């Protein structure tokens, strides 16, 4: 620190008072010093003149007295003149002594001063002793007066100056200081008083301008910051989304290619006649069908997700039995649980409404998703579905609990994010696309509910799905479970097979689809004409009287949109169905608006197609309705069912199956013995599918367990289970089997 700074610090460091005091102090120092400097010369001059005057007075008195005694002989007159002199020259007293220095007489003033100066004068006959007031005392008193006055004046003036400074300088400063302090503490809306026209007013104005500028800049910065933050977040989200989509595509690639590999591989084998026998061919076809369904589910999930992202996912409310939905899920997933040796239980906490009003298909979709996830991630232990109903909130709670691998907090947080699974290692290990939970959660929200998840790593997970039951007061509540409540036949078998009598035009550019639809519908007695594009179709439609037209949308020469418009313009009033692979809802609505009667999505499901067209094509007069088995999840392919009129009714099928079962078990044992495990598994697969379709779940469950043991190479357990199956055989009897 240099000397200048030190001086500054030491000088100002001692200035502890306010600015008013400092100004006052400096001013008073100056006044004090100046006062003494100015007054002192005057005082000296005054004192000098006083001394001269005093000496002159003394001389005058002396001269006057001498003259008096010389010129006036009368004693009385002398005394009188002396009194005059005492008064004139402020003489204290005059003592007269004779020639022998004896006191003769004294004349004094009324005042008596202890200190005084004196002179002696001599006359012819007398000595005079004249006493004057003290010159020194007089000067001292003068100094006392001046010194006291200056100091007193300075003190009082300093107080006055202090108050004045306080009013003029300190208070405005203090006001600015206090306001600055408050602003610095965050009260940014405060502003300084600008009413004063002095420097404080100007400073206040500048400070206000500065604050306004800062505020404006701050606002601009905040906007920019917000924009930047939003941009960064968007960028991060975009990057994350891109990353997730990349991961998703990678998963998709795997998920799509795997079933495609099976479909292509087995199709080629069948196509080139590589099947060993009919059973082998059916087994291969089953695999192709299962993989095709898997692909279809995958595509449906992706479509659902796109609807979720576009907020276009809608629900369709209908009345349904939640018990039947859950029982169907049990039926669907029980086999998978058995394959993994997992207990799969469903517990109902009664009472539960017999019917609820919500979207049955979406409800089922959610439960299947949660339960299949639970089974997928559980290696041993159990999976439970607990169903409860809260009458107060009218919420149905479906709680899926598993003893699977569980998740940690981080994994839980991103559980419901699209394209993300709990961690990257899950997809390769367990499969799945990471879409199911996202879709399910959104569906639950649309159904006025929610899905929450709790989990402990290594111990298991608990997913709770709440949906609005829509229970109407007075409706029946289930307080005790009966077989009827859990009976799912009605739910599973709503479609009836019928023979129709009518003429239909199929406008479709893909030959395979033409053939497929043709083969489907000809079994139902429908006469079909085909056209390869809209133009030909339009021509045929106007020339012939078709009961119904099925028209593809994307076609060469003339597409479906143009064709329907032209048809309607030509006053064609017959029903026309759109066949489209586009499943987006708005597009479906667009087709209806174009003039289509209905829109059917590809792939074509025969039951849906028949249900739709039977409204427009009359029933055949020589055929009655017959119930058929249409379990979509079973291993019986639709076209096989479509050919069912070559066989008997369900009881005939069951009887036939019952008769064949012992032979199948023998074949199975023989194949296992010969170590032809693939063929054995194919037969077991057939057992499972056909057993389920014929309403014999015991056969399906046991066949599943046997297949599982066989895959694991556990032959002892396999033989034991086969023995159990043989023991169960007598139960497989139409007369004894009631379920």
Partner 1 sequence: MSEYRYLLIIGIFLWALLGYSAYYESTVPLYAFSAYLIFEALTNLRLTSLLKRFNKPQGTTQYAPKSNHESRLSEIEAGRVFRIIIAALIYASIALLPDLLWFMPWFIAGMLIMAGITNICPMHMFLRWAGLK
Query: Which residues make up the interface to partner 1 (CB under 8 A)?
Result: 1, 6-7, 9-11, 13-17, 21-22, 24-25, 28-29, 32-33, 36, 39-40, 43-44, 115, 134, 136-137, 140-141, 143-144, 147-148, 150-151, 154-155, 158-159
Output the smallest distance, CB 152 to partner 1, in A.
Answer: 9
Q: Residues 404, 379: contact at Cβ < 8 Å?
A: yes
Nearer to partner 1 by Cβ, of 141 and 350: the residue is 141
For partner 1, which is the closer residue by CB, 165 or 533?
A: 165
Nearer to partner 1, 41 or 713 (CB): 41
Nearer to partner 1, 9 or 224 (CB): 9
CB 432 within 8 A of CB 373: yes
Cβ distance to partner 1 smaller for residue 114 or 730: 114
Instruction: Name the minimum Å distance from CB 28 to partner 1.
Output: 5
Of the two residues 156 and 511, which places its CB atom closer to partner 1 in the complex? 156
Distance from first CA to last CA of the chain, Å, rounded? 103
Q: How far is CA 25 from the centre of its chain?
A: 64
Given a contact cutoff of 8 angstroms between Cβ atoms, the answer to whether 662 and 639 are in contact is no
Q: Report d(CA 733, CA 657) in Å as an integer.
A: 10
CB of 230 to partner 1, least distance (A): 53
Whether the CB-CB separation of 452 and 462 falls below 8 Å is answered with no
d(CA 274, CA 284): 10
Tell me the C-alpha to C-alpha distance, in Å, between residue 7 and each of 1, 2, 12: 10, 9, 8
In this structure, the number of other CB atoms found within 10 A of the CB of residue 714 comes to 14
In whole angstroms, the minimum distance from the beta carbon of 53 to partner 1 comes to 18
Per DSSP, the chain holds a count of helices (H) and strands (E) of 24, 20
Which region, left, alpha or beta, applies to residue 434 given φ > 0 means left and ψ of -120 to 50 means alpha?
Answer: left
Separation of CA 120 from chain center: 116
Work out how close the CB of 138 gets to partner 1 at its nearest, in angstroms, rounded to a whole number.
10
Neighbours of 237 (CB within 10 A): 11
Q: Which is nearer to partner 1, 15 or 206 (CB)?
A: 15
Phi, psi of 343 (to 5 degrees): -75, 135
Pick the closer one to partner 1 by CB: 143 or 429: 143
Q: How far is the CB of 18 from partner 1 (least distance, A)?
A: 10
The least CB distance from residue 227 to partner 1, in Å, is 51
The least CB distance from residue 199 to partner 1, in Å, is 24
Peptide bond into 329 cis (omega under 30): no
Q: What distance in Å separates the CA atoms of residue 141 and residue 46, rounded to the nearest whole number?
A: 13
Q: Which is nearer to partner 1, 15 or 56 (CB)?
A: 15
Rounded Cα distance, 488 and 530, in Å:
39
For tokens 């999976």, the residue is 383
């Amino acid at each position: 620190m240099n000397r200048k700074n030190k001086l500054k610090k030491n000088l100002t460091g001692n200035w502890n008072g306010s600015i008013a005091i400092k100004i006052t102090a400096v001013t008073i120092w100056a006044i004090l010093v100046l006062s003494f400097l100015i007054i002192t010369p005057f005082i000296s001059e005054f004192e000098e003149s006083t001394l001269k005057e005093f000496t002159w007075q003394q001389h005058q008195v002396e001269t006057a007295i001498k003259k008096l005694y010389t010129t006036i002989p009368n004693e009385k007159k002398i005394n009188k003149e002396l009194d005059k002199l005492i008064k004139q020259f402020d003489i204290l007293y005059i003592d007269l002594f004779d020639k022998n220095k004896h006191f003769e007489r004294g004349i004094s003033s009324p005042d008596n001063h202890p200190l005084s100066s004196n002179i002696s004068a001599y006359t012819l006959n007398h000595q005079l002793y004249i006493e004057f007031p003290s010159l020194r005392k007089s000067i001292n008193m003068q100094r006392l007066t001046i010194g006291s006055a200056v100091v007193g004046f300075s003190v009082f003036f300093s107080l006055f100056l202090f108050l004045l400074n306080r009013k003029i300088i300190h208070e405005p400063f203090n006001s600015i200081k206090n306001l600055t302090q408050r602003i610095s503490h965050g009260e940014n809306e405060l502003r300084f008083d600008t009413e004063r026209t002095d420097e404080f007013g100007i400073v206040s104005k500048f400070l206000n301008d500065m604050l306004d500028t800062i505020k404006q800049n701050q606002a601009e910065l905040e906007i920019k910051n917000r924009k930047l933050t939003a941009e960064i977040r968007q960028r991060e989200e975009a990057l994350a989304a891109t990353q997730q989509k990349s991961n998703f595509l990678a998963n998709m690639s795997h998920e799509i290619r795997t079933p495609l590999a099976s479909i292509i591989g087995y199709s080629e084998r069948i196509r080139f006649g590589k099947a060993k026998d009919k059973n082998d061919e059916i087994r291969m076809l089953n695999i192709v069908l299962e993989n095709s369904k898997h692909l279809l589910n995958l595509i449906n999930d992706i479509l659902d997700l796109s609807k979720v992202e576009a907020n276009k996912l809608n629900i369709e409310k209908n009345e349904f039995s939640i018990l039947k939905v859950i029982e169907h899920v049990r039926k669907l997933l029980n086999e998978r649980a058995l394959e993994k040796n997992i207990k799969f239980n469903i517990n109902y906490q009664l009472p539960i409404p017999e019917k609820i009003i919500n979207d049955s298909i979406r409800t089922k979709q959610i439960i299947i998703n949660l339960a299949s996830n639970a089974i997928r991630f559980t290696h041993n232990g159990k999976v439970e579905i607990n169903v409860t109903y809260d009458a107060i909130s009218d919420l149905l709670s479906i709680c899926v609990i598993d003893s699977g691998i569980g998740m940690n907090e981080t994994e839980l947080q991103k559980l419901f994010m699209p394209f993300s699974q709990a961690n990257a290692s899950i997809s390769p290990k367990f499969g799945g696309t990471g879409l199911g939970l996202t879709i399910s959660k959104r569906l639950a929200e649309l159904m006025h509910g929610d899905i929450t998840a709790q989990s402990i790593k290594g111990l298991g997970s608990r997913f709770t799905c709440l949906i609005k039951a829509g229970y109407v007061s007075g409706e029946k509540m289930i307080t005790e479970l009966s077989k009827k409540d859990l009976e799912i036949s009605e739910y599973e078998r709503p479609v009836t097979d019928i023979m129709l009598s009518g003429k239909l035009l199929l406008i479709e550019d893909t030959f395979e689809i033409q053939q497929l639809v043709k083969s489907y519908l000809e079994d139902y007695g429908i006469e079909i004409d085909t056209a390869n594009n809209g133009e030909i179709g339009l021509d045929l439609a106007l020339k012939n009287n078709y009961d119904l037209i099925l028209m593809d949308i994307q076609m060469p020469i003339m597409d479906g949109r143009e064709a329907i418009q032209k048809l309607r313009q030509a006053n064609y009033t017959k029903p026309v169905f759109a066949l489209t692979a586009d499943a987006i809802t708005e597009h479906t609505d667009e087709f209806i608006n174009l003039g289509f009667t209905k829109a059917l999505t590809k792939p074509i499901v025969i039951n849906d197609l028949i249900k739709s067209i039977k409204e427009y094509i009359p029933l055949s007069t020589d055929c009655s309705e017959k119930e058929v088995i249409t379990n979509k999840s079973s291993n019986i392919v639709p076209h096989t069912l479509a050919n069912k009129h070559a066989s008997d009714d369900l009881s005939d099928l069951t009887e036939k199956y019952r008769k064949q079962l012992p032979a199948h078990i023998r074949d199975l044992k023989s194949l296992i013995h010969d170590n032809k495990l693939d063929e054995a598994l194919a037969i077991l697969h057939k057992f499972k599918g056909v057993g389920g379709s014929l309403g014999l779940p015991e056969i399906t469950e046991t066949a599943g367990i046997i297949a599982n043991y066989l895959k694991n190479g556990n032959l002892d357990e396999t033989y034991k289970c086969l023995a159990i199956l043989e023991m169960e055989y007598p139960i497989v009897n139409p007369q004894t089997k009631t379920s």
